[in-house]
Amino acid sequence: MTTGNDSSAWPALMARLPSSWVESCSRVMGASQGLAERWLASRAEQARLTADAVGQLSACRNPQEAVAIHHRWLAQTVERLSAEVMHYRIQASVISLQSLTAFANGHPGRSPEPGA
């Protein structure tokens, strides 16, 4: 009998899984990686834009100019964040559906649709 500490448990489990399920999981991981890479790139871009705005604020000569810069930065940040959240929501749905499909493909007779 294998236990969680047995080094042979993982290969034995992988040998029993259908290849279509393993391949589907691999595709899901690839999609997840793309999502993570996009998130990191977006965070780096936001950091750059914030640094630019801070630089502009430090060069301000009056409060009205500072308020205008801050307002523009905040509006653009919220707009980018809203677009990102929509994209992530769609991608998370796609990844979830891929996972359910992979599970159904690996277990004949099961439907990828919740509650079916």
This prediction has a pTM of: 0.59
Task: Note whether 24 and 106 are within 8 A (CB).
Answer: yes
Nearest Cα residue to 103 out of 22, 31, 16, 14: 22
* 108 three-class SS: coil
pLDDT digits (tens, 9 = 90+) for 98-114: 777 766 766 544 444 55
Mean pLDDT (whole number) for 8-30: 69
